[in-house]
A and B are shown apart, each in its own frame.
Chain A
Amino acid sequence: MTEPSSSPPTSRPYSAPVGQSSRPQPANLADILERVLDKGIIIAGDIRVNLLDIELLTIKIRLLIVSVDKAQEMGIDWWRNDPMLTTSEQGLADENRKLRERVEELESGPRGKSRG
């Protein structure tokens, strides 16, 4: 997210063509949605649609339930290096494993014990 120090100048002549390649950085989806849904000129057209129902919160929830493949395709992979998530997942996995072992131990009784 931080601007690299060697980044090209962010200004360009007003008349310069605006193409995908000349954009300083592709704006991320959050920046685009924030602006096209929340900002700009609001004039009622002939088609009435309540964009207020499409809050960023709703979108966030949708992002969270979007399939992992789709999310990665879209460049969303924050969970991969989110320490809180990965540790809690790790913690859950550990807890699951311990519980499974405990259940096996209880279910199998002395017979299981002698076998293990």
Chain B
Amino acid sequence: MAERARYLYAITRNVDPSPLGSTPALSGGRLDVVEHRGLTAVVSDVDLREFGQEGLRENLERLEWLEKVARGHDTVVQAVASLGPTAPLRLATICLDDEGVRRRLDEWHDALHVVLDRVEGRMEWSVKAFADPVQAGVDTSGVPEPAQGGGAAYLQRKKSEQTAREHREADAARVAGEIHDALAASSSASRRLPAQDPQLTGHTGTMTLNGAYLVDLDEVAEFEATFHRLQKEHPDAALALQGPWPPYSFAVLEQ
């Protein structure tokens, strides 16, 4: 018989967990809840051969496995977030049994309630901005092409190309900062995440803004209006809005 452990997806409180019955758990099992001192941990059984220390070390190196588990984890977190305030746990948080889960709820009781207070009635939106790859390209129109491409002329052209590019990059960065500030003013909390690599996401151009915004559900319309206004004001920034997502970027424990 395989050794089992408890995989933790998210912490919530004051919810009726019965709708979770239709959400698939990792490893094809069913979701359970562990309740302790006003906190509810959403968990499921996993096989220690797959999720034990050794198994994890190997499996995390396999992209297909990582993707499957990441999407499965996210699906459960989304389902929990549709029920009540949700603090998602980081991928692969595993306790040996329910007693271990309760010990964590006990140990982190106050901090978890603070996090749930912060995200209650709020969800996360993502706004990304991209510098147009065509704009970011080399513009030499302002520099006359010499009839004979002498070395000095070549260097001069290169230099002015570089200056023009630096100006465009500085402009794009400034615009991204303005966009972020405006969105931050329309949200409860905000964070700028590192730009994602185009090779990972497939986007073209430079990601000048990767913003996360915690938005009060009563103020979603206002936030979206701000987004659409910014989109009109900055057509070159190629703004993209995604959400609502569970408040991953704002469910962090104060250290």
Question: Could you tell me which A residues sit within 8 Å of B by CB distance?
Answer: 1-3, 9-12, 14-18, 20, 23-25, 27-37, 39-43, 45-49, 51, 53-54, 56-57, 59-60, 62-64, 66, 70, 74, 76-78, 81-82
Contacts and interface: CB of A to CB of B under 8 A. Distances in A.
Contacts of A53: 60
Chain B interface size range: 35 or more
Given A10-B125, A62-B61, 8 more contacts: A16-B82, A30-B197, A32-B74, A36-B90, A41-B93, A47-B48, A47-B56, A54-B61
Contacts of A10: 125, 220, 224, 241-244
Interface string B39-78: 0000000001001110011001101101100110111001
B107 to A, nearest CB: 8
A11 B196 contact: no
B128 A43 contact: no
Contact of A51 (B91, B125, B243): B91
21 contacts: A1-B240, A3-B240, A10-B224, A14-B121, A18-B81, A23-B78, A29-B200, A31-B242, A35-B88, A35-B249, A39-B248, A40-B87, A41-B251, A45-B8, A45-B100, A46-B94, A47-B5, A47-B94, A60-B197, A74-B67, A78-B201
A39 B249 contact: yes
A40 B221 CA distance: 26
Contact of B202 (A25, A37, A78): A78
A113 B217 CA distance: 78
Contacts of A63: 63, 199-200
B187 interface: no
B252 A45 contact: no
A41 B53 contact: no
A54 B63 contact: no
A32 B87 contact: no
Given A59-B66, A63-B200, A35 B93 contact: no
A16 B79 CA distance: 10
A70 B64 contact: yes
A62 B59 CA distance: 13
Contacts of B201: 28, 30, 78
B198 interface: yes
Contacts of B104: 43, 45
- Top 6 closest pairs, chain A to chain B, by CB: A78-B202, A35-B248, A11-B220, A47-B94, A18-B82, A40-B88
A1 to B, nearest CB: 5
A66 B48 CA distance: 27
B112 A41 contact: yes
A15 B82 contact: yes
B96 A46 contact: yes
B115 A41 contact: yes
A33 B79 CA distance: 18
Contact of A39 (B48, B66, B224, B252): B252
Contacts of A35: 74, 88, 245, 248-249
Given A2-B238, A41-B253, A36 B19 contact: no
B198 A49 contact: no
Contacts of A56: 196-197, 200
A2 B89 contact: no
B239 interface: yes
Contacts of B126: 31
